[in-house]
């Protein structure tokens, strides 16, 4: 496995959904959730390099994606059903708000999501989850045959 330079510089590790990540913040304030106590919020760096994408997955908390670039990223929201809806709502994260690109995207709790690059350039984002992220509250979509 080749580690992208940006991933190495930021000490990112492979993410099970694809791409690279490292938690950079965990709130010290606990909150009660249906899955147990969680931090009020968590924050990660998340990187997609050319040829990578994130698989469809769902988190039981709200998630805010914050674009850092340089590439553009398409964030797909695939509904709240048992499986992701391929007719997903799409948010483009990038530097051009006049071209309907956004600097941030919001994924409501329980919504399927996936991300892919729109350019041949890596894209760094930060993802804030509240209540805080736990792999116990996360799942991948079944593999597509």
What pLDDT digit, counting tens, does each position of 27-48 carry? Answer: 999 999 999 999 999 999 999 9
Q: Which residues of 35-72 are buried (b: 16+ CB within 10 A; e: fewer)?
A: eeebbebbbbbbbbbeebbbbbbbbbbbbbbbbebebb
Q: Which of 18-32, 79-93, 103-117 has the lowest mean pLDDT?
A: 79-93
Which of 115, 108, 129, 127 is closest to 44 using CA atoms?
A: 127
Three-class DSSP category at 41: coil
The answer to whether residue 144 scores a pLDDT higher than 70 is: no
Q: What is the torsion angle, in degrees rounded to the nearest 10, for the CA atoms of residue 96, residue 99, residue 105 and residue 106?
A: 150
Beta strands in the chain (DSSP E): 13-14, 20-26, 30-33, 36-39, 42-48, 53-59, 62-70, 73-77, 89-93, 104-107, 112-117, 123-130, 138-140
pTM of the entire predicted model = 0.95
Contacting residues for 87 by C-beta, under 8 A, at least 6 apart? none
Mean pLDDT value across residues 87-110: 95
Does residue 70 carry a pLDDT above 70?
yes
- Mean pLDDT for 116-135 is 97
Residue 143 pLDDT class (50, 70, 90 cuts): confident
Query: Is the pLDDT assigned to residue 145 strictly greater than 70?
Result: no
Q: What is the pLDDT at residue 1?
A: 73
């Amino acid at each position: 496995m080749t580690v992208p330079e940006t991933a190495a510089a930021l000490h990112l590790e492979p993410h099970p959904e694809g791409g690279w990540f490292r938690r950079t913040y965990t709130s010290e304030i606990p909150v009660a959730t249906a899955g147990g106590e969680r931090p009020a919020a968590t924050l990660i760096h998340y990187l997609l390099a050319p040829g990578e994408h994130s698989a469809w997955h769902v988190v039981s908390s709200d998630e805010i994606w914050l674009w850092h670039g340089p590439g553009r990223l398409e964030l797909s929201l695939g509904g709240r059903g048992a499986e992701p809806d391929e007719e997903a709502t799409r948010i483009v994260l990038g530097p051009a708000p006049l071209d309907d690109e956004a600097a941030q995207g919001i994924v409501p709790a329980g919504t399927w999501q996936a991300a892919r690059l729109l350019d041949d350039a890596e894209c760094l984002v930060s993802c804030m989850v509240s209540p805080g992220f736990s792999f116990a509250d996360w799942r991948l979509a079944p593999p597509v045959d």
